[in-house]
């Protein structure tokens, strides 16, 4: 018994309403047909599966263990003392994984399934670099090459992450690059193009189409990404000694939130426990799709190359203002999470990065861990909620990452 789950949990089977499937837009080429050409076949299969529990391949499970799963579940006694009203706070520490975030939980199976398809390379996009770093680590362990298109502005400002990706053996291109037609066109139109996530996705897809033995793997809101993360919540259910009254996570596309909460929510929806547990999804005011978005079919990528999905969205052309919580600067939320919000199963809250980082500093000083700016949004909600809850209440939250690769975020806090 290692404590690492043997299956991923698929919430689609327990949702109060059927999950609206991905769709092609009315005009243009079929995006679903394109995905079939470029993505690992098993991942597409998982996107539409009706299995409740999908087996984790032994090789993937073994890598999870080598990387440090199960991750620790800890009691935040320092933070509890600071709040001082007898509310108990537990957190799952995904920052304990190499790379410092939960993203490896899906990078490992995605790279694994690419290798099972016979691929020699995986290509992907990355904004701030957390996803690119996770893919680089997974590709190194599985023994294939990672090619990462990183938005140029981040490539120039986040040198440490570029260097670490290269240390793991990845090929990292600033996007726009010179190796795809989209990159070349973008630079022709604007020699100082700063790059965008949408452009980086287009470049990664074009790179895959140009050669043999290449697969594209997405870091974004597809349902299989959320499903891979459910190892977090299944472990937490085994580790936590008491039933939580409130479970909290931050939301970029929804994967770390879903990873922690879905196993709890599924049990609640099936009437198998956690009847009184509330679930709170916390977003950034820079990208407030949960609190202000519209529920409609939209593209998950700003380039419109991927199939449309029904979700809470600010529109795929929405450009969030700059924020240190780069992982939360995303225009939409995964279809299953959007549906759970619409149905009132999941509550929502938005904070500014200043509000979040202030809570991040309190957490660092009371627990000893510098949290990722993204995770600090969850911590802010935990503190605000705890203050209003009666003595003896229990809160669980996801510390999705540490902030040791985000010195610029804390530099700003310390200057103010
Ligand atoms: C990427 C990231 C997020 C946001 O992405 P989700 O898919 O919503 O989980 C949150 N926290 C950290 C540390 C991240 O790296």
pLDDT tens profile 218-254: 987 899 999 999 999 999 999 999 999 999 999 999 9
- Cα 211 to ligand 1 centroid, rounded to whole Å: 31
pTM score, whole prediction: 0.97
Is residue 1 over pLDDT 60?
A: no
Residue carrying structure tokens 């610029």: 408
- Cβ of 372 less than 6 Å from ligand 1: yes
In this prediction, what percent of the chain has a pLDDT beyond 70? 100
- Split at pLDDT 50, 70, 90, the class of 299 is very high
* CATH code given to domain 69-101+224-415: 3.40.50.1100
- The count of other CB atoms within 10 Å of the CB of residue 77 is 12
- Cβ of 254 less than 6 Å from ligand 1: yes
- Cα 288 to ligand 1 centroid, rounded to whole Å: 15
- Cβ of 375 less than 6 Å from ligand 1: yes
Is residue 276 over pLDDT 70?
A: yes
Sign, CA dihedral 166-168-171-174, equals negative
Which phi and psi (to 5°) does residue 309 adopt? Answer: -130, 150
Is residue 103 over pLDDT 70?
A: yes
- Cα 332 to ligand 1 centroid, rounded to whole Å: 13
| Sequence ranges of the chain with CATH classification 3.40.50.1100 | 7-56+104-221, 69-101+224-415
In this prediction, what percent of the chain has a pLDDT beyond 90? 87
Mean pLDDT, the chain, integer: 95
The per-residue pLDDT for 211 is 95
pLDDT in tens, 24-83: 999 889 999 999 999 999 999 999 999 999 999 999 999 999 999 999 999 999 999 999
- Cβ of 323 less than 6 Å from ligand 1: no
The per-residue pLDDT for 327 is 87
Please tell me the least confidently modeled range out of 76-90, 117-131, 259-273, 400-414: 400-414
Residue nearest to atom 3 of ligand 1 (CA): 327
Instruction: Classify domain 7-56+104-221 at the CATH class level.
Output: alpha beta
CB 237 within 8 A of CB 263: yes
The per-residue pLDDT for 366 is 98
- Cβ of 401 less than 6 Å from ligand 1: yes
- Closest ligand 1 atom to residue 130 Cα is 15
The per-residue pLDDT for 303 is 82
- Cβ of 261 less than 6 Å from ligand 1: no
pLDDT in tens, 184-210: 999 999 999 888 888 899 999 999 999
Question: How many whole angstroms separate alpha carbon 123 and alpha carbon 39?
Answer: 10
Question: How many whole angstroms separate alpha carbon 122 and alpha carbon 130?
Answer: 16
Mean pLDDT of 106-131: 96
Question: How many whole angstroms separate alpha carbon 35 and alpha carbon 288?
Answer: 28
CB 274 within 8 A of CB 267: yes
């Amino acid at each position: 018994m290692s404590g690492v789950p043997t299956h991923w949990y698929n919430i689609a089977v327990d949702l109060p309403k059927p999950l609206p499937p991905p769709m092609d837009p009315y005009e243009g080429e079929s995006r679903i047909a394109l995905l079939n050409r470029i993505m690992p076949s098993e991942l597409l299969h998982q996107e539409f599966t009706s299995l409740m529990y999908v087996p984790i391949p032994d090789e993937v499970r073994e890598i999870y263990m080598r990387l440090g799963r199960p991750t620790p579940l800890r009691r935040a006694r320092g933070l509890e003392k600071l709040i001082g009203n007898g509310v108990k706070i537990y957190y799952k520490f995904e920052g304990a994984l190499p790379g410092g975030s939960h993203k490896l939980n899906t990078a490992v199976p995605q790279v694994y399934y690419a290798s099972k398809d016979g691929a020699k390379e995986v290509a992907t996009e990355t904004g701030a670099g957390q996803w690119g770093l996770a893919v680089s680590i997974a590709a190194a362990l599985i023994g294939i090459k990672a090619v990462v298109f990183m938005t140029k502005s981040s490539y120039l400002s986040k040198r440490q992450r570029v260097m670490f990706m290269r240390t793991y053996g990845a090929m990292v291109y600033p996007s726009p690059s010179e190796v795809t037609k989209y990159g070349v066109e973008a630079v022709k139109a604007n020699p100082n193009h700063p790059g965008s996530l949408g452009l980086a996705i287009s470049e990664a897809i074009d790179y895959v189409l140009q050669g043999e033995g290449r697969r594209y793997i997405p870091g974004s809101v597809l349902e299989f990404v959320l499903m891979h993360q459910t190892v977090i919540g299944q472990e937490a259910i085994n580790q936590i000694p008491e039933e939580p009254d409130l479970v909290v996570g931050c939301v970029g596309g929804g994967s770390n939130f879903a990873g922690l909460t879905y196993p709890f929510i599924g049990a609640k929806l099936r009437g198998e426990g956690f009847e009184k547990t509330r679930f709170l999804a916390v977003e950034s005011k820079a990208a407030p799709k949960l609190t202000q978005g519209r529920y409609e079919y939209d593209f998950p990528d700003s380039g419109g190359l991927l199939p449309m999905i029904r979700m809470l969205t600010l529109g795929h052309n929405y450009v969030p203002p700059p924020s240190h919580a780069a992982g939360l600067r995303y225009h939409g939320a995964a279809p299953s999470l959007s549906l759970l919000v619409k149905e009132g199963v999941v509550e929502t809250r938005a904070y500014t990065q200043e509000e979040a980082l202030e809570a991040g500093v309190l957490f660092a000083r009371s627990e000893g861990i510098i949290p990722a700016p993204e995770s600090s949004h969850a911590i802010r909600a935990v503190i605000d909620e705890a203050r209003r809850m009666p003595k003896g209440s229990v809160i669980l939250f996801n510390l999705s990452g540490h902030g040791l690769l985000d010195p610029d975020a804390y530099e700003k806090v310390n200057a103010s």
